[in-house]
Amino acid sequence: MAKRRQLSTDEWVQGVLAGDRAILARAITLVESRNSVHRQQAQEVLQALLPHTGGARRIGLSGVPGVGKSTFIEAVGLKLCQAGHKVAVLAVDPSSQRRGGSILGDKTRMAELSVHQNAFIRPSPSGGTLGGVAAMTRETLLLMEAAGYDTVLVETVGVGQSETMVAEMTDFYLVLMLPGAGDDLQGIKKGVLEIADMVVVNKADGDTAVRARHAARDYEGALHMLALQDPDWPVPVQTCSAIEGTGLDELWDKVGEYFDKLGPMGRIKARRQRQQLHWMWALVDSGLKELLKQRAGELLNSTETAILADQITASAAAAKLLETLKKP
């Protein structure tokens, strides 16, 4: 099998800007690579593309397993594509904690959307990254924008800290809930509601339609007891059926209302600026940890052994390791 020719930085940039799907897919692989040479070129490509980014609506979406995220995204995505929009879906699959592999089955779950000429679906393994999002999801999002996609949907695994992390990289955070889940307010994840820009009760069809409406009222009541994330945006609660396609137009009109209202006020721009600072410090934290592992060497192993043997406290061990960063 012939080895593919390595592209120059200019070829990567021009290919992405031209919307070349093959080059876009390879560019995403480039930014996800852990190879130091690839990482260097990826940063050069991203820097050159930066002036062409920022034009898309970035929508984060999460919900508990079984809530119908993939069905919902396909239904919404198809409506947008048919209306002339270009839709990118960044779907993050959980990586195995034992072997590190991922199923990466989102294209099979969104069979119709995946073959639409106006859509691009990219499943990526979370790689064990905290927050249920891939380490390079933010960079991939920039590539999608540079390639001309005006709506980027970021789907997370819906567990752990995924809600917080996806909200830190998108303009609008939508949470999918199951019918009946609102019957017990103690079961509502308060942290999720505090950062949500919209709550949607899915599967409001058939015998569950009444339960969905009851759940929506419960969520509305719960939201009234929480402080608004933005005083100019009371968080709406909608119901829909992704399978039947009902309620999707209404909820997407609400998403549009959010951008039309808060965009001119500078809120979305300010949100993105805060996210960039947050991401910079997250990368600094990650980089320092890797640097510490390199610098500490054998000291790291002996310190971990001492902790396991109850010979040193965790705080004393951390201070001991951090001292290695002060040495030239």
Instruction: Express each pLDDT in 189-234 by its tens digit.
Output: 567 788 899 999 999 998 899 999 998 998 888 888 887 788 899 9
What pLDDT digit, counting tens, does each position of 151-165 carry? 999 988 665 555 677
Alpha carbon distances (Å) from 298 to 31, 302, 321: 31, 6, 11
Q: What is the mean pLDDT of residues 39-53?
A: 95
Residue that is written with structure tokens 């989102």 in the block: 106
CB 60 within 8 A of CB 174: yes
Q: Which residues of 25-36 are buried (b: 16+ CB within 10 A; e: fewer)?
A: eebbebbbeeee
CB 103 within 8 A of CB 65: no
Evaluate if residue 182 carries a pLDDT over 90. Answer: no
Residues 6+ apart with CB under 8 A from 38: 30
What span, in angstroms and rounded, lies between the C-alpha atoms of 278 and 282?
A: 6
What span, in angstroms and rounded, lies between the C-alpha atoms of 210 and 204?
A: 8
What span, in angstroms and rounded, lies between the C-alpha atoms of 139 and 135?
A: 9
Give the pLDDT band of residue 100 (cuts 50, 70, 90). very low
Q: What is the mean pLDDT of residues 39-58?
A: 95
Flag the least confident range among 4-13, 178-187, 286-295: 178-187
Give the pLDDT band of residue 61 (cuts 50, 70, 90). very high
247 in the Ramachandran plot: left (φ > 0), alpha (ψ -120 to 50) or beta? left
Burial class for 229, CB neighbours closer than 10 Å (0-12, 13-18, 19+): middle
Residues 6+ apart with CB under 8 A from 195: 163, 164, 167, 173, 229
Flag the least confident range among 136-140, 184-188, 291-295, 313-317: 184-188
Evaluate if residue 79 carries a pLDDT over 80. Answer: yes
> Which residue, among 234, 242, 279, has the nearest Cα to 61 in the 3D structure?
242
| Per-residue model confidence (pLDDT) at position 129 | 47
> Which residue, among 203, 190, 179, has the nearest Cα to 229 in the 3D structure?
190
Evaluate if residue 103 carries a pLDDT over 50. Answer: no
What span, in angstroms and rounded, lies between the C-alpha atoms of 28 and 11?
A: 14
Residue that is written with structure tokens 């294209």 in the block: 107
The 3-state DSSP class for residue 63 equals strand
**Mean pLDDT over the full length of the chain:** 85
Give the pLDDT band of residue 66 (cuts 50, 70, 90). confident
Flag the least confident range among 96-110, 136-150, 170-184, 262-276: 96-110
Q: Which is higher by pLDDT, 190 or 62?
A: 62
Residues 6+ apart with CB under 8 A from 188: 181, 182, 218, 219, 222
Tell me which CATH homologous superfamily contains domain 54-265: P-loop containing nucleotide triphosphate hydrolases (3.40.50.300)
Per-residue DSSP letter, 50: G
Cross-strand pairs, 121: 89
What is the domain partition of the chain in residue ranges?
A: 54-265, 276-326
Q: Which is higher by pLDDT, 138 or 130?
A: 138
Alpha carbon distances (Å) from 2 to 35, 93, 97, 266: 21, 30, 34, 50
Alpha carbon distances (Å) from 274 to 164, 191, 203, 231, 271: 14, 19, 34, 18, 5
> Which residue, among 197, 205, 274, has the nearest Cα to 233 in the 3D structure?
197
Q: Which two tokens stand for residue 268?
A: 């979305």
Q: Which two tokens stand for residue 173?
A: 């955070």
Cross-strand pairs, 87: 119, 151
Per-residue DSSP letter, 181: G
| Per-residue model confidence (pLDDT) at position 158 | 60
| Per-residue model confidence (pLDDT) at position 228 | 79
